[in-house]
Structure 1
Amino acid sequence: MRFSTNTLEALLKDPSAIKTSYQAKQLHAHVIKLKGPRASASKFSGFFLSVYSNFNLLKDCLRLFNAPKSVPSAKAWKSIIKCCVSSGNFLEAITFFKRMVASGMTPDSKVFPALLKTSAHLSHITLGEAVHGWVIRLGFESDLFTGNSLMNMYGKLEYLDAVKKMPADGRRSVVFGGLEETTISSRDSVTKIFEAMPIKDIVSWNTIIGIHVERGTCNEVVWRLVMDMGTAELKPDSYTLSTILPIIAQSADVMKGKEVHGYAIRHGCDKDVFIGSSLIDMYSNCSRLDDSLSVFKLSPHMDSVSWNSMIAACVQNGRFEDGLKLFREMLMTDHVPVAVSFSSILPACAQLTTLYLGKQLHGYIIRHRFDDNIFVSSSLLDMYAKCGSLCAAGWLFDRMKFRDTVSWTAMVMAYASHGRAREAVDLFDEMEMAETIKPNSGSFLAVLTACSHGGFVDEARDYLRRMTRKYGLSPGIEHFGAVSDALGRAGKLEEAYEFISGLHIQPTVAIWSTLLSACRVYKNVELAEDVTRQMLTIDPNCMTALILLSNVYVAAGRWKDGAKLRNRMRKKGLKKTAACTGIEIKGQLHVFVTGDESHPSYGKIKETLKDIMDRIEAAGYVPDTATALYDVDEEEKRQALSIHSERLAIAFGVMNTPQGTTIRLTKNLRICVDCHTAAKHMSGILNREIIVRDLVRFHHFKDGNCSCGDFW
């Protein structure tokens, strides 16, 4: 490349006109050709060092800086230090600074931002304090770029309002650059640096706002900073909005969120992909999924972040089918799924128990080598467990190279929900012994659930104590609920009542309902009526309380009281949720409702079910008509039980799968006592495993037995 004299002079006056490293090297070669080899050691040295530094050409910078007879100028020192930092050679940057000071050269303000960046990357607070001491000593506190760098350094090192042990005078000394520097007092903070800055730009405001957000400062403080920013005649930009939207989402403050959204539209920031994704997340956290969809559809640039944010929003808001639909649409575009795509969509498969689709996704994950990603692996494990395939979940857990708290917790909960309570407890104890793993609240909920399902009352009490005393975790209502459930299932009804009544937090309908369910099992009508009163005090229209009490009356043979209660519910306009059971056949979900004859294959289903019922009755099954809700004759009770949704689904599964195939069902309510007994017999005479996921847990029926041990 040849340069004219005018072009050469223009480039030497304005280095920003050099757009590529190739142009820089060609220009350098041209200068050497015109001026001779000594040009590298002449006044051009500092110029080309600065240019090479801008392109992070460290080797070229070092060769030029160390050229024979070269006497580095202040600009040259600044350039080599900046290039070292930009290239990630932080220790070399410190070495060059020390050499600079030793040579007698006084640093200018442009050197310190690079050194402060070095301190942040090395997580070296002492070094950062020493650099700050140099800044104060040389009077550069008022420099805008140095001030911004100081805030950023202290913020990244979590030094905002940090309290350290200091000498009595509040100052300490550090040797840096060959000189002893007095560092700042620990009483100083990022906020004080910010307030002391005479000039602040958009970067200054964004830095202080970002640090407060990272530190979890009160939302009102952050919001006030944003307002003050406007008062300072600086408009919040895309970076500002994408910083504050997550805390608005966390607090689910939809009014503030809409205010920010309106500002973004007025100032043209809403087209920014990061703002769009943040708005999707914000509306999703505020349970405004339709608004999230509107933002997504109006986005001019639907990148992978937008797609994944929208898919995650659907799944988190329970719109699982919509999430799957969006995932399929994304596959039809040019956007290739990434790890977060699968960790977002797999929970939808788990909740819908679409094992067929889950396996397809697993195949894609393996082919594209996402199976080593710990988040994807944990999501796969959870999906298989919730779809009833505990063996696959265990296989995945065993082959994971790295396990975090989430993966351990998912496996403990998998064992607990599948009736393998002892394995769950043992795995939790193994988790506690792992050096790098610390159980969290979810981990303790998983092991307490195992204790509940297994009837381990003493262990449940022990884990609850260990949670607070050993790990300093505060139990939530769900943890107390698991303990009360364990007491109730074990027949300790009075003790469970006292436990709930004595809680330091207000009991909920959910925790009382666990005890009311136990009252049905043990036919304790008096306590059930007391518990129902407690539940109705919390929620006068609580349908769960009335339904469960009605079941208690029926179980105790008090048919008239049960009928009165159901009449009361009808007068109030309360309707019991219809029992329904789903079964997946060849990737298609079939849903059956109790007594529903609308399925196209109902005639054949009825014949198949009758044949199965005749076979299990011949094998010793006797219908438990005491669980029927209406006081009618025995034959009508038997007929009412025979058309329960799970039985229709089992018959349909037998019709449409090969002999020996596992039948997997999902029910929206708890499986009733008689269907539980019938399913045990069916597993025996059909020689099949029947897996039922009900509202509370999994039941694995095999060879005439159930994994719950009839304890549910």
Structure 2
Amino acid sequence: MPLRPSTFANFQRPLYLWNLIIRDSTNNGFFTETLKVYSFMHHSRVHGNTFTYPLLLKSCANLLSIPHGTMLHGHLLRLGFQADTFVQTALVDLYSKCSIIESARKVFDEMPQRTVVSWNAVISAYCHESLMDKAMSLLKEMLVVGFEPSSSTFVSILSGYSSDLNSFEFLWQGMSIHCFVVKLGLVCFEVSLDNSLMGMYVQFGQMDEAKKIFEILDEKSIVSWTTIMGGYVKVGSIVEAFKLFKQMQHQNIGTDFVVFMNLISGCIQTGELLLASSVHSLVLQCGCDEEDSIENLLITMYANCGNLTSARRIFDAIIRKSVLSWTSIIASYARSGHPEEALDLFRRMVRTEIKPNGATLATILSACADLGSLSIGQEIEQYVFENGFELDQQAQTSLIHMYSKCGVINKSREVFERVKNKDLTLWTSMINSYAIHGLGNEAISLFENMTTSERIRPDAIVYTSLLFACSHSGLIEDGLKYFKSMQTDFGITPTIEHYTCLVDLLSRVGQLDLALDAVKAMPPEVQAKALGPLLSACRIHGNVELGELAAAKLLDVSPRSSASYVLMANLYNSIGKWNEANTMRNAIADKGMVKECGWSQVQFVKYVM
């Protein structure tokens, strides 16, 4: 048991006893107690030594207490500890962990002598803030002056690379670090370093490289297993993730809730109910079912598998429902095509002591958008302002989307204009709103303002909205320009959504041959989505020959889709080939397919919060 400061508060004692109390309280995690001890010690006019102050600074770092830390720094300056390597290193570590990098670097630069730990503290601070250029510059300086990096140095750097999703340039730098680590002989001897290397490759979806590291590990920790499993789930290789789980079971490796979070996330992607039920059984057997994060994922898992009954049963069984629990079940109903039930659950939630957060409001506004219910959306907006969410960008982004879906584009712009410090998601939402309303020039103007005036770097999602806007407004030259600049200026690889917009753009203006060439350039597994717009365009422009070619290709890559036959039947109808049209429609019944009916809805519901 640690010694309590109150036990000795009224007695004079020598420094070694103070140090004993400080050591015990710090080592046992009683960091506030440690600072209280120092307060008694300071008032007793007893000064610490090189043993005392690193422990005190460690306590401040763990508490993220800058006021106490700066006070101690002042004491150290007065007592003349500027040349003490251990004390100064503890100061660097304090400022680094509190993200005051300028102070950490100033103390570091003024140190007469440094250790590897000193260098690591500053490098770690830079990496934590994703200032990788400065971290790498300091690493090079460290090597020049003759210090050999430790595994902790590389763990910090690799964690910095792993957190940056925007630049594959960092992947190449991370691979260079990997080579350096191999040269130093640290691979396979430091599990934490090996896990960091795997984490870096996983972050960039380089699962072959991550698997190579995993397979050569002599000693695999539970973190090693969860890292590689999570990586496979992230890239959609769910089968590989479950194979690894079976290996864990055969090797009698203990599981934790992170393992099950990976497995449940895999089930969410696959949507296979039998697999989901099996994973749920394992969760129950291991007693992890009462973890908040697990419960919420289970709700989402069953909803994605089409079993809202089980999702609701899990939610109802939660005794102490959190805002995440409510948000999960509301989102489950909203995303499963039951917006009315989602709204009903939201009404129940606001009547409890649990208050919604930005994610909850974003979800319920999405349900309003799906219903096309402007009146309910306006009531939600009133709730947003009455409860202090007017600065929440997630809620404001969803308001823009809701007003757009309800056909009130001027309200979308009004919401957009009143938000300060707009993030990329907010800009994307407004650009997409213009796109779905066919206001291509407005979407382009907003995009140019975002990238030029505000200097916000676009991503693949905003380019999808921009190309969609160009397509629906017939802005072919602009669409082609942005499709090219997306790749050349920002290094964004086109996805199926981009290709589909490109094909739709070319098809709408009658450039059908170019559109077909664009389809042929796509991977076969994604061609079906792009062929639909092309086939529709062939009907509009009366190009039967190309339409038949596109239809044959579409039926080849997507033989069980009734939409393919309907599109071809419409093409034949448009030019008076009634027999051929009937053949296409009869093929739907002959092959046991069902044509999906179009539908619309008008809601007459008075919603009361």
TM-score of the two chains, using structure 1 as the length reference: 0.62
**Aligned residue for 1:70?**
46
Structure 2 vs 1, CA of residues 210 and 156 (structure 1 numbering), >3 Å: closer, same or farther?
farther
Distance 1:362 1:192, change over 3 A: farther
Aligned residue in 1 for 2:65: 88
Mapped partners of 2:362, 2:548: distance in 1: 45
- Aligned match of 1:56: 32
* Residue in structure 1 matched with residue 597 of structure 2 by the alignment: 578
Q: How far 1:71 moved relative to its partner? A: 4.1
Contact persistence 1:81–1:97 (CA under 8 A) = no
What displacement does 1:329 show?
A: 3.0
Deviations 1:623-678 (A, max 9, x none): xxxxxxxxxxxxxxxxxxxxxxxxxxxxxxxxxxxxxxxxxxxxxxxxxxxxxxxx
1:485-528 deviations in Å (ceiling 9; x for gaps): 11211122233223323435555322111112112222223322
Residue 522, structure 1, aligned to residue 541, structure 2: yes
> Shift in Å at residue 429 of structure 1?
1.6
- Alpha-carbon distance between aligned partners in 1 of 2:490 and 2:22, rounded to the nearest angstrom: 58
Alignment partner, residue 344 of structure 1: 363
Choose between structure 1 and 2 for higher RCO, CA contacts under 8 A separated by at least 6 residues: 1
Higher strand share: 1
- Decide whether aligned partners of structure 1 residues 313 and 486 sit closer, same or farther in structure 2, where only a CA change above 3 A counts: same
Aligned to 1:630: none
Q: Give the paired residue count.
A: 536
Q: Indicate which of 424, 431, 435 corresponds to 1:416.
A: 435
Output the amino acid matched with 1:520: R
Q: 1:369-415 CA deviation, whole Å, 9 max, x = no partner?
A: 11210111001101110111111101101111121111111111111
Residue 122 of structure 1 pairs with residue 96 of structure 2 = no
- Structure 1 residue 434 displacement after superposition: 3.8
**Cα shift at 1:420:** 1.2
Q: SS at the partner of 1:270?
A: coil
Task: State whether residues 133 and 182 of structure 1, in contact with CA within 8 Å, keep that contact through their aligned partners in structure 2.
Answer: no
Change (3 A) 1:208 1:40: farther
Q: Secondary structure at the match of 2:540?
A: helix
Does residue 488 (structure 1) correspond to residue 507 (structure 2)? The answer is yes
Q: Distance in 2 between matches of 1:232 and 1:517?
A: 55
Match of 2:553 in 1: 534
Change (3 A) 1:286 1:74: farther
1:365 counterpart (361, 381, 384): 384
Q: Deviations over 1:246-272 (max 9, x none)?
A: 764676597887666444322322122
Cα distance in structure 1, aligned partners of 2:275 and 2:253: 20
Amino acid aligned to 2:40: L
Q: For residue 585 of structure 1, give the secondary structure of its aligned residue in structure 2.
A: coil
**Secondary structure of 2:601's aligned partner:** strand
Tell me the residue number matched to 1:335: 354
Q: Secondary structure at the match of 1:431?
A: helix
The answer to whether residue 191 in structure 2 is matched with residue 194 in structure 1 is: yes
Deviations 1:313-372 (A, max 9, x none): 333444434433332332343322122210122112112212221111111111101121
Q: 2:408 maps to which residue? A: 389
CA deviation profile, 1:443-500 (whole Å, cap 9, x unmatched): 1111111111111111111111011111111111221111111121112223322332
Counterparts of residues 464-503 of structure 1 (less than 5 Å) = 464-503=483-522
Judge conservation of contact 2:54–2:90 (CA < 8 Å) in 1.
no
Contact 2:547–2:571 under 8 Å retained in 1: yes
- State how far apart, in whole Å, the 2-side matches of 1:165 and 1:183 are: 13
Specify whether residues 411 and 367 from structure 1 end up closer, same or farther in structure 2 by C-alpha distance, changes over 3 A only.
same
Of 318-327 and 436-445, the range deviating more from structure 2: 318-327
Task: Give the equivalent residue in structure 2 for 1:47.
Answer: 21
Larger Rg belongs to: 1
Q: Secondary structure at the match of 1:580?
A: coil
- Cα deviation for residue 294 of structure 1 reads 3.9
- RMSD over aligned CA atoms reads 5.0
The 2-side partners of 1:233 and 1:525 are apart by 63
Aligned partners of 1:97, 1:223: CA distance in 2, in Å?
55
Distance 1:502 1:41 in 2: 77
Aligned residue identity for 1:410: S
Amino acid paired to 1:194: V
> What is the one-letter code of the residue matched to 2:447?
F
Contact 1:253 1:286 in 2 (8 A): yes
The equivalent residue for 1:398 is: 417
Task: For residue 423 of structure 1, give the secondary structure of its aligned residue in structure 2.
Answer: helix
- Cα drift, residue 215 of structure 1: 8.7
Q: Which ranges of structure 1 fall in alignment gaps of 5 or more residues?
A: 1-13, 19-23, 137-145, 175-180, 198-203, 589-712
Contact 1:191 1:208 in 2 (8 A): no
1:597-676 alignment runs, 5 A limit: none
Counterpart-to-counterpart distance in 2, 1:361 and 1:506: 41
Deviations 1:679-703 (A, max 9, x none): xxxxxxxxxxxxxxxxxxxxxxxxx
Answer whether contact 1:354 1:587 (CA < 8 A) is retained.
Answer: no
Could you tell me how far 1:96 is from its partner in structure 2?
7.8
TM-score (norm 2): 0.72
Structure in which a larger fraction of residues adopt helix: 2
Looking at structure 2, the residues matched to 580 and 307 of structure 1 have their Cα atoms a distance apart, in angstroms, of 30
**Against the structure 1 CA distance between its residues 391 and 47, is the aligned structure 2 distance closer, same or farther, given a 3 Å change threshold?**
same
What's the counterpart of residue 463 of structure 1? 482
Give the Cα–Cα distance (whole angstroms) in 1 for the partners of residues 311 and 188 of structure 2: 35
Instruction: Name 1:664's counterpart in structure 2.
Output: none
Change (3 A) 1:520 1:96: farther
Identity %: 23
